Chains A and B, each alone.
Chain A
Amino acid sequence: MGLSREASKKILMLAMLLPAVAVIILFLAVPAALTLLISLTELDYRFQWIWCGLENYARLFSSPVLQLIVKATAIYVAGTLAFNTLMGLAIALISTHVHDALGTFVRAVWLLPRVLPSVIWALLMMWIFSPLEHGFLNSLIVRAGGSPVPWTFLYYWPFLFIVNGFIGSSLSGIIFSSAIKSIPQDYIIAAKLDGASGFTIVRRIILPMIKWHIAFFVAYNTLSLLASFEYIMLTLNGGPGFYSTEVMILHAYHLAFGQYMVAMDFGYAATIVTILLVVGLALSVIYWRVFRLRRLMIEPKLE
């Protein structure tokens, strides 16, 4: 007899989905659940699983530094996201409107920070923007007769936007430029024939046609920035000053793995990560609604 055609089709579909589902459960759902569970314990350097209920959350919400780390996170995510998106857009627009070889070259060069080991990239940037006289920029300024500028000290947020953004914008640049390249030339030629200026073409044709790519990048980048701290750690490490660039995930890292005598406070650190997880989930839902990303998934918007 065998199964009905409909049922066997469903079983086949399930079997095909299984590997992906297994990967998601094993590598995404399980760690998330574990983080949540750890946040309910006093897990520390002894690795003893002692339940403590919501004590860690109470501790976090009464912490004198909570406000500072939330503020730093908001500034960091918003600023770096803006830098990544706008810079990526600029790279894409410029590199697709020059000679092809030059355009590819520019995009390839822009990838260099991404292929450099992060420690080296951070060291380089710290050297270039060092607040002391022997920093690269300052030594140029001093040689030209100016007085040194305390870059990382006064302009720590722009500095971090640049350190992260030069890496992040290479991705957005590539996504946006490939999207621009796939816009049929006819539209642009027709617009040019009608006498449209370059600016009008960008505003009325190019931007509307790549808005899905921009929406995708913004959503994706927000979420990854929430969990990104390595370049802050390698450069300013939460400073200069009192918690000025200590974002939430960096604070969690410091509590769990890396301050002089205060470390391995895993339970408390997991509390912060859990909250970030919830924020990330909420933002995903909001982006899904606001950008109507569902429509992006249904049919290709560009041929």
Chain B
Amino acid sequence: MFRKRRGHIDKMVALLLAALFIVGLVAGYLVSSVTAPPTTGEVVPKSEYDKLLRELEDLRRQIGAGAAPVEIVITAWTQGPERESIYRQANLEEAARRLTQMFKAVGVPATVRVEGEFSTASWTDYRKKLYLALEGGTGPCIFLTAHIDTATLADNGWIIPLDDYIKKYWNWTYYDVISGLWNSVTYKGRIWAIPQDTEARPVYYNKLLLKKLGWTDEMINDLPNKVLRGEFTLYDMLRVAKEAVDKGVVEPGYGIWHRPNAGPDWPIVYLAFGGELYDPGTGKLVADMKVWRKYFEWFYEASMARSKVISDKLTALDWNRDIHPTIVAGKVLFWMGGTWHKGQWVSSFGLSEEKFWEMFGFMLYPPGEKGGRPVTLSQPMAYFISKTCKYPEVAFLILTLATDSYLNSLHAVQSAHLAILYSQLSDPTYTKDKFLAATGYMVEYAKYQPLHPKWGEYQTTIFEVVKGIETGAFTPDTALATFRDLLRSRLGDAVIIRE
């Protein structure tokens, strides 16, 4: 009797659970069919990839016919995280193929192959993996990372300086590298890496919203020039954004948006107020408290507590779930972004090329004060060669062949990064891209982050304090005091605090 009842209950439970499962499936299907984003095409078609593999196989077979061939494998790790930057890896592979062809032409029985992977993990995860591998001596021969890692990499003796090679192969391609970029990879008097790409971080403005505010086309198109002339300051930007909020053109908090997390962009406003981050004399980081006060006051003035221009929820949002879709939907007036965002919007967020030009304009970060110089920040990516690399010169040859106007333009156009070679500026692949042509001038106004092992902590601290201001935890005074305490506690004597 009992047993029978138990079985009955089990059946009931199973039936109820199954029913719930089916209801869930149907609901999920309905929701997903309504909300599914349009799918985008693959970055590299598989057929192309297979074709290249077949070609490589052919080459190998031909060389194998003569003397015992040597296969040189160069390991290489590169990083996005955005998928659009896959040419960072593909160009190295292509360079290896070109080198192999040269060997073949002169009858050298050797093939060169690049092995490794293009990573789309977060920067934190990529760095962790890279550093641990380098420390353990199992790192790749060539790797790509941001130029700011140069200090850490060089101080630990994980990489080799490249000055001698660069001199040796100068006439091949290096004369063509835009000269300012060498500064971004020079540390303690030596060059440690080959620049791979660069970018600018402009402020995008929504033209349609400015029109709603009563701006004429002429005014809108002249805005970048007004910034260049130093006539439109950060406070003017704030005032326009406040007006848009007050008049209901954008929702409160949607006047100015910035990245939601720690990253290289945070010092830009400080630089726009004329701040300095590095003292070349002592090699120490610098915090000019008078400028930081202006910085925090600006963010406080923009916060929900005052002008309601920057949302207090902004730092709780997610890039792909909230930030990009909201900007592409045209709800934000000013977006402190990066040139590659345009690439992401067009390829992953359903923004058409025409719509982009109709909706967005872009300008440098306005100066903090009237008559000041506008500014932006570049964070070039660079290729490094590790100390454990068995064939450093072959690796360097691959970098040399990959530093090519055509190959680099393929990368630049697909990922909306800026040129690193003078010849790219007249390369048809590059110049047919209207956006790259229009943002190219920004590189002249670009500053770099300081090369210092403790810079990461400095930068993260800026973000934490801004987050506190925007969410109402700090006034400019308490923000400044907390910032000073945090810098002292985290950086010790690596930072010079100027009062």
By a beta-carbon cutoff of 8 Å, the part of chain A in contact with chain B is: 45-47, 59, 62-65, 100-101, 104-105, 108-109, 126, 130-132, 150, 152-153, 236, 239-244, 257-264
Question: What distance in Å separates the Cβ of A132 from its nearest Cβ neighbour in chain B?
Answer: 6
Q: Which residues of A contact B316 (CB under 8 A)?
A: 131, 152-153, 236, 239-240
User: When A63-B489, A131-B313, A260-B263 are in contact, do A45 and B456 touch as well, CB less than 8 Å?
Assistant: no
A36 to B8 CA separation, bound complex (whole angstroms): 55
Partner of A62, one of B156, B472, B474, B489: B489
Q: Does B128 lie within 8 Å of A241, measured CB to CB?
A: no
Q: Does A264 lie within 8 Å of B131, measured CB to CB?
A: yes
A242 to B460 CA separation, bound complex (whole angstroms): 12
Which of B9-17, B186-194, B209-217, B386-394 is near enough to bind chain A?
A: B9-17
A129 to B456 CA separation, bound complex (whole angstroms): 32
Indicate whether B236 reaches chain A with its CB closer than 8 angstroms.
no
Q: Does A101 lie within 8 Å of B468, measured CB to CB?
A: no
A50 to B499 CA separation, bound complex (whole angstroms): 34
Total count of chain B residues near the partner, CB < 8 A: 48
Q: Does B132 lie within 8 Å of A153, measured CB to CB?
A: no
Indicate whether B97 reaches chain A with its CB closer than 8 angstroms.
no
Chain B 244-274 interface 0/1 with A at a Cβ cutoff of 8 Å (1 = within): 0000000000000000011100000000000
Which residue, B465, B467, B472, B482, has most C-beta atoms of chain A within 10 A? B467
Q: Does B468 lie within 8 Å of A46, measured CB to CB?
A: no
A264 to B261 CA separation, bound complex (whole angstroms): 19
Q: Which residues of B contact A126 (CB under 8 A)?
A: 318, 321
A265 to B438 CA separation, bound complex (whole angstroms): 42
Q: Which residues of B contact A243 (CB under 8 A)?
A: 464
A163 to B465 CA separation, bound complex (whole angstroms): 27
Indicate whether B317 reaches chain A with its CB closer than 8 angstroms.
yes
Q: Does B16 lie within 8 Å of A105, measured CB to CB?
A: yes
Q: Does A108 lie within 8 Å of B17, measured CB to CB?
A: yes
A64 to B474 CA separation, bound complex (whole angstroms): 14
> Chain B at the A interface: mostly helix, strand, loop or mixed?
helix
Chain B 106-140 interface 0/1 with A at a Cβ cutoff of 8 Å (1 = within): 00000000000000000110011001100110000
Residue of A nearest to B146 (CB): A261
User: When A46-B135, A153-B316, A263-B128 are in contact, do A241 and B473 touch as well, CB less than 8 Å?
Assistant: yes
Q: Which residues of B contact A109 (CB under 8 A)?
A: 17, 20
Q: Does A104 lie within 8 Å of B460, measured CB to CB?
A: no
A101 to B15 CA separation, bound complex (whole angstroms): 10
Question: What distance in Å separates the Cβ of B98 from its nearest Cβ neighbour in chain A?
Answer: 35
Q: Does B322 lie within 8 Å of A105, measured CB to CB?
A: no
Q: Does B132 lie within 8 Å of A45, measured CB to CB?
A: yes
Q: Which residues of A contact B455 (CB under 8 A)?
A: 261
Indicate whether B289 reaches chain A with its CB closer than 8 angstroms.
no
Q: Does A108 lie within 8 Å of B13, measured CB to CB?
A: yes
User: When A45-B131, A132-B313, A150-B313 are in contact, do A101 and B12 touch as well, CB less than 8 Å?
Assistant: yes
Q: Does B135 lie within 8 Å of A153, measured CB to CB?
A: no
Indicate whether B315 reaches chain A with its CB closer than 8 angstroms.
yes
A260 to B123 CA separation, bound complex (whole angstroms): 7
Q: Which residues of B contact A260 (CB under 8 A)?
A: 123-124, 261-263, 456, 459-460
A257 to B125 CA separation, bound complex (whole angstroms): 8
Q: Does A47 lie within 8 Å of B132, measured CB to CB?
A: yes
A109 to B368 CA separation, bound complex (whole angstroms): 57
Cβ contacts A to B, 9 pairs, < 8 Å: A45-B135, A101-B9, A108-B13, A150-B313, A241-B472, A242-B465, A257-B124, A261-B455, A263-B128
Q: Which residues of A contact B460 (CB under 8 A)?
A: 259-262
A-B pairs with beta carbons under 8 A, tally: 107
Partner of A64, one of B13, B123, B313, B489: B489
Q: Which residues of B contact A261 (CB under 8 A)?
A: 148, 262, 455-457, 459-460
Indicate whether B286 reaches chain A with its CB closer than 8 angstroms.
no
Indicate whether B486 reaches chain A with its CB closer than 8 angstroms.
yes
Q: Does A105 lie within 8 Å of B13, measured CB to CB?
A: yes
Indicate whether B471 reaches chain A with its CB closer than 8 angstroms.
yes
Q: Which residues of A contact B131 (CB under 8 A)?
A: 45-46, 264
Indicate whether B353 reaches chain A with its CB closer than 8 angstroms.
no
Q: Which residues of B contact A59 (CB under 8 A)?
A: 489
Q: Does A257 lie within 8 Å of B128, measured CB to CB?
A: yes
Q: Which residues of B contact A100 (CB under 8 A)?
A: 9
Q: Does A153 lie within 8 Å of B312, measured CB to CB?
A: yes
Question: What distance in Å separates the Cβ of A54 from its nearest Cβ neighbour in chain B?
Answer: 16
A264 to B152 CA separation, bound complex (whole angstroms): 13
Q: Which residues of A contact B315 (CB under 8 A)?
A: 239-241
Q: Which residues of A contact B317 (CB under 8 A)?
A: 132
Partner of A47, one of B135, B262, B473: B135
Q: Which residues of B contact A262 (CB under 8 A)?
A: 456-457, 460
Q: Does B464 lie within 8 Å of A105, measured CB to CB?
A: no
Indicate whether B485 reaches chain A with its CB closer than 8 angstroms.
yes
Q: Which residues of A contact B318 (CB under 8 A)?
A: 126
Question: What distance in Å separates the Cβ of A48 from its nearest Cβ neighbour in chain B?
Answer: 9
Question: What distance in Å separates the Cβ of A62 from its nearest Cβ neighbour in chain B?
Answer: 6
Within 8 A of A (CB), among B1-32: 8-9, 12-13, 16-17, 20
Q: Which residues of A contact B465 (CB under 8 A)?
A: 242
Question: What distance in Å separates the Cβ of A84 from its nearest Cβ neighbour in chain B?
Answer: 24
Question: What distance in Å separates the Cβ of A183 from its nearest Cβ neighbour in chain B?
Answer: 19
A243 to B468 CA separation, bound complex (whole angstroms): 8
Q: Does B13 lie within 8 Å of A104, measured CB to CB?
A: yes
Q: Which residues of B contact A62 (CB under 8 A)?
A: 489
Question: What distance in Å separates the Cβ of A36 from its nearest Cβ neighbour in chain B?
Answer: 23
A171 to B376 CA separation, bound complex (whole angstroms): 53
A240 to B472 CA separation, bound complex (whole angstroms): 10
Q: Which residues of A contact B135 (CB under 8 A)?
A: 45-47
Residue of A nearest to B486 (CB): A64
